[in-house]
Structure 1
Amino acid sequence: MTTDAIVSYRTSDDGTTLHATLLAPELDVDVADELRESLEKAVAGSPCRQLSLDLAEVTFIDSYSLGALVGVRNTAAAAGLTMVLTRPSAPVRQAIEVTGLAEVFGIAPV
């Protein structure tokens, strides 16, 4: 397992999924660039086929951070990884749905 200031990483036992758990409870303009850089660096060096991003502990996300996640999704796709968001908290799910990004991230409506 690897951890930086904002994300904790581990690889699944079968080596196909890179699990990333966000450690910052609030994703806003102050941390969005750091988040994007961390995730893009992890994707670039990963032999995995999927990036699973756990958002359970995130209580707030702004539009700049959502944009950063879209950028990471695109970077992951270019590297051959599928990115999925898992366990989004209620406020994060709402922000994703309101912005029309639920389909982009594969979040099923509740």
Structure 2
Amino acid sequence: MLVHTYAISDGSVHLSVVGEIDIATVEDFEEALARAIAIDGAPRVVVDFSEVTFCDSSGLAALDRCCEQASHRGLQLRLVRPQRGVRRLLELTGLLEALTRPDI
């Protein structure tokens, strides 16, 4: 799994995740998310899942924890472009709505 992090012109932080998120890679994934959430002044963190081919329960738990951390910091954590299999898992767990709802 690879995570590329960069800033977007509106000050948001964008993470592009590539590969599988599972017990072997979840620590690196969660650390990248936590670093992005900790950046001062960013209004939101956007996580692009278009190239995530697999995500197990450890990845879902990391997303859930980081979503809560972002909320406590007053940030929006948004997941974009999940592939079909990952999207279905997010739907079944109720995380899809929480991570993809429009900005308020």
What interval of TM-score do these two structures reach, taking the shorter chain for normalisation? 0.7 to 0.9
- Using the size of structure 1 for normalisation, the TM-score is 0.83
Deviations 1:24-50 (A, max 9, x none): x11111111221112102211242111
Q: Where do 5+ consecutive residues of structure 1 fail to align?
A: none
Of residues 4, 13, 27, the one that matches 1:8 is: 4
How big is each residue's C-alpha offset from its partner over 1:4-25, in whole Å with a ceiling of 9 and x where there is no partner?
A: x73111111132x1111013x1
Superposition pairs of residues 71-90 of structure 1, within 5 angstroms: 71-90=65-84
Which of 78, 93, 96 is matched with 1:102 structurally?
A: 96
Correspondence for 1:62:
56
CA displacement, residues 42-69 of structure 1 (integer Å, 9 cap, x when unaligned): 2112421111000000011101110001
Amino acid in the other structure paired with 1:22: V
Question: How many equivalent residue pairs?
Answer: 102
Amino acid at match of 1:9: T
User: Gaps spanning 5+ residues in structure 2: where?
Assistant: none
Secondary structure of 1:30 counterpart = coil
CA distance in 1, matches of 2:27, 2:84: 23
> How far apart in 2 are the matches of 1:89 and 1:51?
19
Contact 2:80 2:100 in 1 (8 A): no
1:47 correspondence with 2:41: yes
In 1, Cα distance between equivalents of 2:56 and 2:29: 13
* Structure 1 range deviating more: 44-53 or 99-108: 99-108
Give the Cα separation in 1 of the matches to 2:68 and 2:85: 23
Give aligned-pair identity as a percent. Answer: 32
Q: Return the match for 1:27 from 11, 18, 21.
A: 21
Q: Distance in 1 between matches of 2:100 and 2:52?
A: 18
Higher strand content, 1 or 2: 2
